[in-house]
Structure 1
Amino acid sequence: MSEQIHKRPNAIGSLIIVGAMLALTRTVHVWQEGSILAWALLGLAAGCTAALLLGWTRLVKGSLRKNRVRIALLALVGAGALTLNGCESTWKVLAVPPHFVSHQLCSAVFVAGLEPVGYYREAIQPKFGAASNFIRYELDRQRREVRVSFMGVVKSRSIYEGPLGCRVTHAAEPVPERTAMVPSSVPATPVETIAPQSAALADALQHAFADPQTAPHRYTKAVVVVHRGRIIGERYASGVTSATPLQGWSMTKSVTNALLGILVRKGKLDMNAPAPIAEWSSLGDSRHRITSDQLLRMVSGIGCGDSLHTAGWHTLFDPDTQMEYDIPDQASFAAKAGLRAKPGDQWQYTNCNYVLLSRIIRDAIGGDPVRVRTFFENEIFKPLGIETATFEFDSAGTPLGTAQLWASARDWARFGLLYLRDGVTSSGQRLLPEGWVDYSAQLTAQSSDLGYGAGFWTQRGNSSGGRARIAAGMPADSFMAVGSQGQYTIVIPSEDLVIVRLGWSYTPDDDIIATERLTREVIAAVHTSKELQN
C-alpha cells in the first residue's frame, strides 16, 4: 500500500525553478572563480531561457506551426545556455531536494514512527518555501520506501533497512539492499512520562514548549532533565513519546567522538598520528600529516564546504550538502578534497571531517555495516542502556557520523550522562579513556570566536561565544552536543545536570536563546525547589 501525498508539479512552474537554479548555479561558480558579472549574466540568461521556453510553448499552444521557427531558436539558445552552465553541477543542485525529502521522510516514518504529513509540514516544507509546491512524494509502507519527484524531472528513492535505518539509493552505483543482513530491531516500549517534580521546573518546561503563532516556529518535541542521575522532569509534544527516536543532526558528531574514544581505549587508534586515510598515504601528499585530532577539531584544512550555515537556498550549492544527499560513498568524496589552508591553522566547520572519521571507525571495526552496527550495540548502546538508537549508513557501508543518528530524548540523556560521569557508565564500566571527556570539552584554539571543542561545543576556554553563553546563564564548565534546528544535549558537571532539548526550530542560531533560558530556569529550579533537594 502506498500513500501519495503531494500534487503533481506544474510544468511551467517547474521550468521557472529550473531556470532559477541554472542561473544561481552559474552565478555561485563564477563568484568563486572571480569574473562574476559576465558569467552571472550568462547564467541568468540560461535560467530565463529555460523558463521562457515552456512558457512560450504554452502561450502559442494551438499555433505551433506559425511559431515553430521562434520556438526552435529558443530551444537552441536554451541548449547553449545549459552547456555554458554545465549539466553536472546543475544536476547536483537539483538532486539535493528530492534526496533530502526521501531520506528524511523514510527515517521519520520507518525509524521514528512519526506521522508523515505533519512531519513534512513542520520539518521539511519550511526549508524549501515555494519550491515545496514542486515536490511530490509517495510513501510505500509495504515496500518500506519513499519515492520523491522534484519538478517532475529529478527523482529519488530511499529504502528502510531495519536497524541500519534509511538510505538513499543510487541507480548509477547499485548496492545490494541490506535489510536481510541484520536482524530486525524491536521497537522500544514507551514508559510513563515523569512529570516535572517542582512548579518551577514545570514552568521551565512550559516555556521550552512555547511556540509563536506565526513563523519562525520552534516546534519543540521533547525535553528531558536529569539531575543526580535520575529524571526529574520530561515533556513531549503530541505524537512523540519517551521511546520515539528523534534525529540528533550534528549531535551525532559527539557520538562519533565517543566511538573514537573507545577505539583509542582499545589501542586501535592514535589521535595524534596521521589519519589512516588511504588516499592521503603518500608521503608527498600535502594532506598526509593531517591527524585524527585535527579532523575531530575541524582544523584539518581540507577544502570542503560549510556545514555550519545550513539555512536558506544557498546550502543547495554547498559541497557538504551535496555530499550528504547525492553521493553514495561520502568518504571517498571527502578524501578527494584538497587543502584550503595549512593543517592546524584555521577552523572550518565541515562535515567532510566527520565523514572521514566515520570511515576510520568503520575500517578499524571491520569494514561492513553489520559489524559496525554490532560494535555500536556492544560498546556503547547496551552499556548505556540505550534502546532506541538507529545509526544510519551510506551506500558504501560507512556510518553517517555527521548527522544521521536517531534516538529518543531519554537515550540522548543517557549519552550525556556518560560524559557527565567522565566516560564511566552507571554500573562503573569505563567506556572512554581517562581524560577523554576533558579533552573533548577543551576549547580548540582556532575556534576562539565560537567555542568549539572536539566534537562538542564548549563554554570552557574563554572563547567569545562561550562568554556570551555563560552571560546568558550557561555554567562555565558546561559543554554540549548541538545539532541543527535546536538539538541539544547539555552536560553541566558543576550542577550534576544533563538537559536534552529536541525539535525542529527555525529560530535564529539553532534556537539558542530559548535553550539558554531553559538552562537558566532549570538550574534555578534545582537550587530553589525543596522537592529537588533530596
Structure 2
Amino acid sequence: MRKIKLFLGIALVGIITAAYFNYPKLNLMSGFASKNMASSVFIADREPVDVSLYDNDIPLVNLSDCAVSEADESATATVYGLMPRTAVYKEGIGAVLTNKEFSKHNFELIPNRFVTMDSLPFPYGNNGVMDTVLENVDYDKLEVAFSNAFKDPEQKTRTLLVVYKNQIIGERYIRGFSEDTKILGWSMTKSVLSTLYGILEYQGKMKMDFKPFSDEIRMKSPKHNITIDHLLRMQSGLAWDENYFKISDATRMLFLDSDMTLAQRNKDVIAAPTEVWNYSSGTTNLLSGILREQFNTHQEYLDFPYKTLIDKIGMHSMLLETDLTGNYVLSSYGWATTRDWAKFGILYLNNGDWNGERIFSETWVDYVAEPTEHSNGTYGAHFWLNAEGKYVDIPTDLYSVNGFQGQRIFIIPSKDLVVVRTGLEEQTDEQFNTLLKEIIQSIR
C-alpha cells in the first residue's frame, strides 16, 4: 500500500509540474487552433473537419478541440477543456483572436476593393488560361516533375503551378483544392510588405534611408540610427526570438498581442544596425505600423495595398488580415489562390512592369535580390536568395518568396520561370532543388 501511495504521490507531483510549465502554452495552442480554423473556414471556404485533421495537426496544437459557429462566424478552441480562445471573422479584414480588449475595437472600416473584370486570360486577366502548346517544353518530362512532387504523401504538397514566359505550362491540385482555393501564404506575406515599400519609393514618398525612430535621438536611444533598409534586411539590431515551437516573441505577438506592430518596436537594441542578421516577424509588423504612419487616415492605409498592388495586378482573391487594432499582419496573414500568388511572382519576373504599367521601379528588383550582410547569401530585402548556391543545380539568380510549411514562389529570371508550391510540410533544400531541376530540364 505504501508503494502504491508513493507511486501515486510521485505521479501527482509529475502532473502538477507538467501542468505548471505547460499551462502558459495552452493560450498559444488554443489561440493557433481557433485562429487557423476561423480563417480557413471563412476565408478559404474549407471544411472544419479537414482543417482539424490536417491544418491543425501540428504538435501541441493538435491537442486542441475546436468548434465552429456559422451564425457568429467564429471558432472557439480549448485544450482538454482549458484556456478557451475565440477567433471571430470580420468581412474584409479576416479573422481576429479575441481578448479582454476585443470590445474596445470596432471593425467598421474595411478596405475598399478595386476589382475590374476583363476578357484577358491569365496572368493579365482572370478569364481562364492560354492553352497554347510551347514547342520547347517537354510536357512528358514536366509531368514527371509534377508526379514526383505529389507522389510522396509525407511531403504534403497541396498545389503546384509552373509559369514559363508568363504562361502556365503546368498546374495541379490535391483533392479538395482547386484554382479557386485561397492558400495562407504565412511568411510569403512579408514579400508583399516589402513590395509596398517599393511602391512608395517609386511614388517618391519613401526612401530606404528613412529613419523611423529619428525623434528618439532626444532620448539618447540607439534606435534613432535604424533605417527602413535595415528593417527590410532584418539587420536592425533589435532583439527578437523567432521560434514557433515554444513561447517566444513571435508566438506571443501572433496569439496574444492586440497591436502586433509594438512587439518589435519595444525591444532593446542588442547590436548596431548591419552588425547582425536576425530573421524577425516582429520586424515586418513593425514595418506595417510604420507604413500606416505614412497616411493621414486609417482608410487610406487599408486601401493602399489593394489600390496600388493587389487589385492593380488582378490578385482579386487576396485578403490581408489585420490585428485587433487594424494593422495588417504582414508577417504572416496573407491569403490568395495559387494563381494569384503566381501573379505576384510574375510581377517580379517582369521587373515591376504589369502589362505595360509600371508598379515599382526596375531597380527595386535588384534591391530586394541583393544579398544582405551576415545572411550567407540567403536573404535580400524580405526575399530569400540562392546567391551562394543553396540549391546546387539551380541558377544563382533565383530569389524566392518563402512561408511556413513550405509555401514558396520561386522566381528564376534567367529561365523565365515562376514556380509556386504550397503545402503542409517544409521541404529540404535537396527536395526543392530536385523539383526545380526537373522543371528546368523539361524546357529545351
TM-score normalized by the length of structure 1: 0.74
Match 2:54 to one of 110, 113, 122 = 122
Amino acid at match of 2:67: E
Query: What code does the residue aligned with 1:241 have?
Result: S
Counterpart of 1:218 (choices 150, 155, 178) is 155
Residue matched to 1:319: 249
Q: What is the aligned partner in structure 1 of residue 396 from structure 2? A: 476
1:305 has 2:237 as partner: no
Q: Find the residue that maps to 1:364 and give its secondary structure.
A: coil
Matched residues in 2 for 1:184 and 1:140: separation? Answer: 27
1:104-143 equivalences under 5 Å are 104-128=36-60, 132-133=62-63, 135-143=64-72
- Quote the offset at 1:152 in angstroms: 2.1
Is contact 1:148–1:155 with CA below 8 Å preserved after alignment?
Answer: yes
User: Match for residue 123 of structure 2?
Assistant: none
Query: What is residue 149 of structure 2 aligned with on the other side?
Result: 208
Residue 198 of structure 1 is matched in structure 2 by 139
Q: Is residue 159 from structure 1 mapped to residue 92 from structure 2 by the alignment? A: no
Matches within 5 A, 1:18-33: 19-20=17-18, 22-23=20-21
In the alignment, the residues of structure 2 paired with residue 16 and residue 190 of structure 1 have an alpha-carbon distance, to the nearest angstrom, of 61
Deviations 1:415-470 (A, max 9, x none): 00111111111x2111112311011011002111x61111111112xxxxx3231x
Q: Which residue pairs with 2:122 in the alignment?
A: none
Match of 1:268 in 2: 205
Contact 1:486 1:512 in 2 (8 A): no
Aligned to 1:467: 389
The one-letter amino acid of 1:393's match is T
Displacement, 1:390? 0.7
Which AA in structure 2 matches 1:303?
A
Determine the structure 2 residue equivalent to 1:456: 383
User: In structure 2, what is the equivalent of residue 68 of structure 1?
Assistant: none
Between Structure 1 and Structure 2, which shows a larger proportion of helix residues?
A: 1
- 2:351 is paired with a residue of what secondary structure? coil
Residue identity opposite 2:289 in structure 1: R
Aligned residues: 421
Q: Which AA in structure 1 matches 2:418?
A: V
Task: State the distance in 2 between where 1:21 and 1:153 align.
Answer: 11
* Match of residue 404, structure 1, among 301, 326, 333: 333
- What is the deviation of 1:330? 1.1
What SS does structure 1 have at the residue aligned with 2:317? coil
Amino acid across the alignment from 1:519: L
Aligned partner of residue 127 in structure 1, secondary structure: coil
Residue number in structure 2 paired with 1:150? 79
Counterparts of residues 118-517 of structure 1 (less than 5 Å): 118-128=50-60, 132-133=62-63, 135-178=64-107, 181=110, 198-212=139-153, 217-276=154-213, 280=216, 282=218, 284-307=220-243, 310=244, 315-368=245-298, 370-425=299-354, 427-448=355-376, 451-460=378-387, 466-469=388-391, 471=392, 473-505=393-425, 507=426, 510-517=427-434
Aligned residue identity for 2:160: V
1:104 and 1:447 mapped to 2: Cα distance? 31
CA distance in structure 1 between the partners assigned to 2:349 and 2:129 by the alignment: 25
Distance 1:415 1:209, change over 3 A: same
Cα offset for 1:243? 1.5
Q: Is the 8 A contact 1:490 1:499 kept in 2?
A: yes
**Displacement of 1:173:** 4.8
| Alignment partners' CA distance in 2, 1:269 and 1:494 | 30
Contact 1:442 1:453 in 2 (8 A): yes
Alpha-carbon displacement from aligned partner over 1:10-41 (angstroms, at most 9, x marks no partner): xxx999777425336xxxxxxxxxxxxxxxxx
How far 1:185 sits from its partner (Å)?
11
Deviations 1:379-437 (A, max 9, x none): 00122111210100001111111011011110111000111111111x21111123110
- Report if the CA contact (8 A) 1:122-1:219 is conserved: no
Q: Deviations over 1:220-254 (max 9, x none)?
A: 11111110111111001111111211011111111
1:330 to 1:181, Cα distance in 2 relative to 1, 3 A = closer
Q: Structure 2 CA distance, aligned partners of 1:381 and 1:184?
A: 9
Mapped contact 1:456–1:481 kept (Cα < 8 A)? yes
Cα-Cα RMSD: 2.7
In the alignment, the residues of structure 1 paired with residue 402 and residue 70 of structure 2 have an alpha-carbon distance, to the nearest angstrom, of 32
CA spacing shift, 1:125–1:338, aligned 2, 3 Å: same
Tell me what 1:61 maps to: none
Measure how far apart 1:373 and its partner are: 3.3
Deviation at 1:494, TM superposition (A): 0.4
Q: 1:115 Cα shift? A: 1.7
Residue 163 of structure 1, CA deviation: 1.9
Distance 1:290 1:275 in 2: 7
Q: CA deviation at 1:170?
A: 1.5
C-alpha distance after superposition, 1:344-372 (max 9, x if no partner):
1001111111111111112213452x433
Q: Secondary structure of the residue that 1:269 maps to in structure 2?
A: coil
Runs of 4 or more, structure 1, over 6 Å off, are: 13-18, 183-186, 192-197
How many Å separate the matches in 2 of 1:493 and 1:353? 28
Q: Verify the 8 A CA contact 1:161 1:179 in the aligned structure 2.
A: no
Amino acid at match of 2:273: P
Separation in 2 of the partners of 1:260 and 1:419? 14
Asked whether the 8 Å contact 2:112–2:303 carries over to 1, the reply is no
1:503, CA displacement in angstroms? 0.8
Length-normalised TM-score, structure 2: 0.88
The alpha-carbon distance between structure 1 residues 264 and 205, as it changes in their structure 2 partners (threshold 3 A), is same
Deviation at 1:341?
Answer: 1.8
Q: 1:158 touches 1:166 (CA, 8 Å); kept in 2?
A: yes
Q: State the alpha-carbon separation in 1 of the partners of residues 158 and 301 from structure 2.
A: 30
Q: CA deviation at 1:169?
A: 1.3
SS in 1 for 2:96: strand
Aligned twin of 1:78: none
Greater relative CO (CA pairs within 8 A, separation 6+): 2
Q: Contact (CA 8 Å) 1:331, 1:355: kept in 2 or not?
A: yes
Contact 2:113 2:311 in 1 (8 A): no
Query: 2:314, 2:192 → 1: CA distance?
Result: 15
Letter in 1 for 2:165: R
